Structure 1
C-alpha cells in the first residue's frame, strides 16, 4: 500500500520572489528527501476546504442549493438542473439575452457603434476581468497574474472578477481576495444590457452592481484561456462575443490578453449567426493576443489591425506580490519532493478523446518506465474535475511506494512550487506545462488541442508532444520518458534559455495605458 503522507516544510511570507523557492534555478536546487509521499495541510481555502459563512440571504441560499445540486449530480448527467422552475427561468433568461444581444448588434451594425474610447490614459474607477475563475488552477494562475500586475500599475483602481462559479462561493472565502467577485452567468449578462430584465434575476442587487461598475469602468480585461472556438460549440462563442458587445455598449475599451483562439469551423446555421457578430465585434478590442500563430491566422478573416501573437501571461510572470492578490496574505505550506522525481498531471479532456482502457494503459507504461529508471512518481491534479482520474492512476500502483498521490486541492501557487521540484513531468493540463517551463522543468505533453503542440514548438520540445486526437504510440511514449529521464538537465537548460528571451518584454507595460 502507498505509505501515509507526511507534512512538509512550511513556507510563510507575503511575496513570492523571482523563481520559486527563493529564486533557485532548476539545476542544483536543494530538496528535502522524504521516506513517504508528502502532504499539504493547506490553510488556503479551496473547494475541498470551504469556509462557510453563517450569514446567508435568500438569494445566497438559492445559489448555494443550486451549487450543491450541481456538485452532487453525476458527472455523466447531461443536465444538473432539477427544478422545473429553474429550467423555465434559465430558458427565459437565455432567450432574453439573445434578444438583447441581437438588438445591440442591429443598433451597432446599422446605427454605428458608440465612439471608440480613448486609451491614451486610463479613465474610470473600475477594471473588470472576464474569462477568469478560481476552480481550474490554470485559470486561477491567470487571474492571480493579471490582478497582481494590474494592482502594480493601477493601485487606486477597483478590480472586479466576473465569474458565476466563484460568486457562488461563501462570502468569507470571497472576502480573502483584494478584488470583488460578481456573477457573470446568463442573468448577469442580461442585466448588464438592460435593467428591464431584472425580474428574471435571483439577485437584482448583483445585476444592479454590475451596471454601476460598468458605468464607471476604465477597461475590460479578457483572460479566457480557450473560449472563442468551434471546439467549444455555439453557446461558448456566443457568450464570448456578448462580452465584447456589452463593453461596446458602455464604450469601454477591451484588452484580450494571451489566449488560444480558433478554429472557427462552425456548422452552417451556427456560422450564419456568429460570423456577422465576429465581423463586427472582433475589431473592437484594443488588442487581441493569440497564444498560437494559427490563432492569428484564424482571426485574419475578421480582423488584423488589433491582433498579435504573444505567449501566456503566466509563462511571462516573474513572481507574485501576494499583497496585491489577497486582503490578508495566507500562510502557504509547500511539499518536499524526493530527488529524481517525475510528475503526472492528467486531464479529463484527454480521457474524453481516448478509449478509457487505453488511456490508463498509456499511463501505466509511462510510470513503469520512470520507475525502472529510478524515479519517484507524483500524481496530482491541476483542476478539480481531474480528481477521479488521479485516484484511478495511482490506485493501479497501490503496492508501489514510489508512486505517490497528492490528494489535496492545491492552489495555483502551491502547485507551481510542487512542479518546480520535478526533474520532468507528463502534463495534460496546459498550465501545468506552463508552470513547468516557467521553472525550467521539461515536460511530455499529452494534449487535445493545437495549443499544446504550439507551446512545445516554441521551446524546441516538439518531440515530446503527443496529440490525443490521434492514436498515441505507447512505445514512443515510453521512449520519451526514458529520454527525459536521461537528458532532463540538458533540456532544462534549453528551456531556461528560450524563456529568458520570451520574458524580456513586459506585456502589461506594452499593453495598458498609464493611470
Structure 2
C-alpha cells in the first residue's frame, strides 16, 4: 500500500478530528511506510499549520469541488486561496491505492443540504474514474427520502456511487435498510471508529509532540462535565435549549456537585458562553477554547459523569469508562446507549422535560460505580473488532 487518501475528516469538529487521528494512527500501524494524505473539505489550516502533522493535509474547499465537477463554473467562481491547486488534488486521487471516507454523516436526505451529500460522493466519483478502491468507514448513512429535483438529481448519484464502494461500514443497524436499497453485499455493522480504536500514539500524528496544555484545562476532580451542542437549536429554540442546560446545571450546583461546561466543537462556542452567562454561578467552570482530541481526553479524565449532547463527546466519555447522560435526537445516540445498556439515561431533545432529565441525572450519579463497570465490560467486546482486515 503506497498511498492512502482519507476524505470526510476536518479540523473544525472534534469528532471528525478524533476519527481522523484514530485512523491515521491505525493506518501507520497496519500499513507502515504508506503515504497518508488527508483531503480537507472544510479547510482551516495554513501551510504552516499543516507542517505540524506527520501526514499530508490537502485543502479542497467546496468551491474546488464545484469547479472540478463542473468546469464551466470556473468562469464565474474563483478558487478559495486556502484550497490547494486543482491539478494537485486530481493527481492525488489518480495515484492513490485506497481511499477511506470518515464523513460520519454525509450521504443522506435528512436535515442537511444536498450539496454536502454531493461533496461526500465527489471523492467516490474521482475514485471510480481512476478505478481506486473506496471504503466508507463507520458512519451513519441514509435515509434517502429525496423529493422533487433532489430525487431526480441526487438519488441517482447516491445509487451509482454507493454501489462502487468496496465496503460500507454502518454505525447503526437502522442504516442497513437504507443501504440495502442500493446494494446487498459488503455492508458491515461496526461501532464508531474512535470507540473501537486503541489509544493513539501521538508520534504517529505529529512531527514534534505538542506541548500539553495544563493550567487552563484543569477542571476540579470528579466534576460533572456538560457538553452542549448547537445542533439542538434546530429542534428547539435557543432560549429553550439554554434553559434546559441552565436548570440542569443549577440543580447540580445546588447539590454540591462541581460542574464544568466543555466545548467539543467550534460551532458551540456561542452556546457555551450563553449557558455560562445564564447560570452565572461562581463555582461553574468553563472550558471554551479550541481543544484537540487529546486535550478533550485530558479534561474528561477528571470527570465523574458526563452530560453529552455531542455524539463524539459521548464516544470520548465512554472510551474513558465515564457514565453518561445524553441529550440528543438522532438514532446514532440511541444505538450507542442501547448497546451499552444505558437507554434509560438518554433523552430526545424534542420530547424531553427538565424534571425527567434532572431525576435521571441524580440516578446516574448514584449508580456511577455500577455503570462504570458495565461500560468497561462492553468496551472489551467492542475492542475485539478489526475493520482493517476488510481492505488489507
TM-score normalised per structure 1: 0.71
Match of 1:299 among 179, 196, 218: 179
Match of 2:319 among 426, 438, 449: 438
Q: 1:187: how far off?
A: 4.5
Q: What is the alpha-carbon distance in structure 2 between the residues aligned to residue 343 and residue 437 of structure 1?
A: 13
Q: What is the alpha-carbon distance in structure 2 between the residues aligned to residue 362 and residue 205 of structure 1?
A: 43
Q: What is the alpha-carbon distance in structure 1 between the residues aligned to residue 300 and residue 71 of structure 2?
A: 47
Q: Structure 1 residues 193 and 234 mapped into 2: Cα distance closer, same or farther (>3 Å)?
A: closer
Match of 2:200 among 303, 306, 320: 320
Secondary structure of the residue that 1:342 maps to in structure 2?
strand
**CA deviation map 1:144-203 (0-9, x unaligned):** 11111111222222111111433x422211110112221223453356669898776536
Q: Structure 1 residues 248 and 444 mapped into 2: Cα distance closer, same or farther (>3 Å)?
A: same
User: Is the contact between residue 426 and residue 445 of structure 1 (CA under 8 Å) also seen in structure 2?
Assistant: yes
Q: 1:502: how far off?
A: 0.9
Q: Which residue of 2 aligns with 1:184?
A: 60
Match of 1:378 among 238, 241, 260: 260
Q: 1:397: how far off?
A: 2.7
User: Which is further off, 296-305 or 357-366?
Assistant: 357-366
Q: 1:337: how far off?
A: 3.2
User: Is the contact between residue 164 and residue 185 of structure 1 (CA under 8 Å) also seen in structure 2?
Assistant: yes
Q: Which residue of 1 aligns with 2:294?
A: 413
Q: Which residue of 2 aligns with 1:119?
A: none
Q: Which residue of 2 aligns with 1:280?
A: 160
**CA deviation map 1:362-397 (0-9, x unaligned):** 112211222233210000100011111111111123
Q: What is the alpha-carbon distance in structure 2 between the residues aligned to residue 348 and residue 187 of structure 1?
A: 25
Q: Which residue of 2 aligns with 1:454?
A: 335
Q: Structure 1 residues 476 and 151 mapped into 2: Cα distance closer, same or farther (>3 Å)?
A: same
Q: Is 2:98 the partner of 1:222?
A: no
Q: Is 2:54 the partner of 1:174?
A: no
Q: What is the alpha-carbon distance in structure 2 between the residues aligned to residue 296 and residue 146 of structure 1?
A: 23
The structure with more radius of gyration: 1
The number of aligned residues is 386
Q: What is the alpha-carbon distance in structure 2 between the residues aligned to residue 177 and residue 233 of structure 1?
A: 31
Q: 1:250: how far off?
A: 0.9
Q: Which residue of 2 aligns with 1:505?
A: 385
Q: 1:454: how far off?
A: 1.3
Q: Structure 1 residues 194 and 353 mapped into 2: Cα distance closer, same or farther (>3 Å)?
A: closer
Q: Which residue of 1 aligns with 2:18?
A: 141
Q: Which residue of 2 aligns with 1:330?
A: 210
TM-score normalised per structure 2: 0.93
Q: What is the alpha-carbon distance in structure 2 between the residues aligned to residue 195 and residue 365 of structure 1?
A: 53
**CA deviation map 1:435-462 (0-9, x unaligned):** 0000110111111321111111111111
**CA deviation map 1:287-320 (0-9, x unaligned):** 1111000011111111120211100010012211
Q: 1:429: how far off?
A: 0.7
Show the 5 A alignment for 1:82-481. 122=1, 125-166=2-43, 168-189=44-65, 202=79, 206-231=85-110, 232-334=112-214, 335-398=217-280, 400-468=281-349, 470-481=350-361
Gaps of 5+ in 2: none
**CA deviation map 1:57-113 (0-9, x unaligned):** xxxxxxxxxxxxxxxxxxxxxxxxxxxxxxxxxxxxxxxxxxxxxxxxxxxxxxxxx
The CA RMSD measured in Å over matched residues stands at 2.0
**CA deviation map 1:205-264 (0-9, x unaligned):** 721111222222111110001111112132222222222111100100011110111112
Q: Structure 1 residues 238 and 488 mapped into 2: Cα distance closer, same or farther (>3 Å)?
A: same
Gaps of 5+ in 1: 1-121
> Which structure ranks higher in relative contact order (CA pairs < 8 Å, sequence separation ≥ 6)?
1
Q: What is the alpha-carbon distance in structure 1 between the residues aligned to residue 262 and residue 310 of structure 2?
A: 11
Secondary structure of the residue that 1:316 maps to in structure 2?
coil
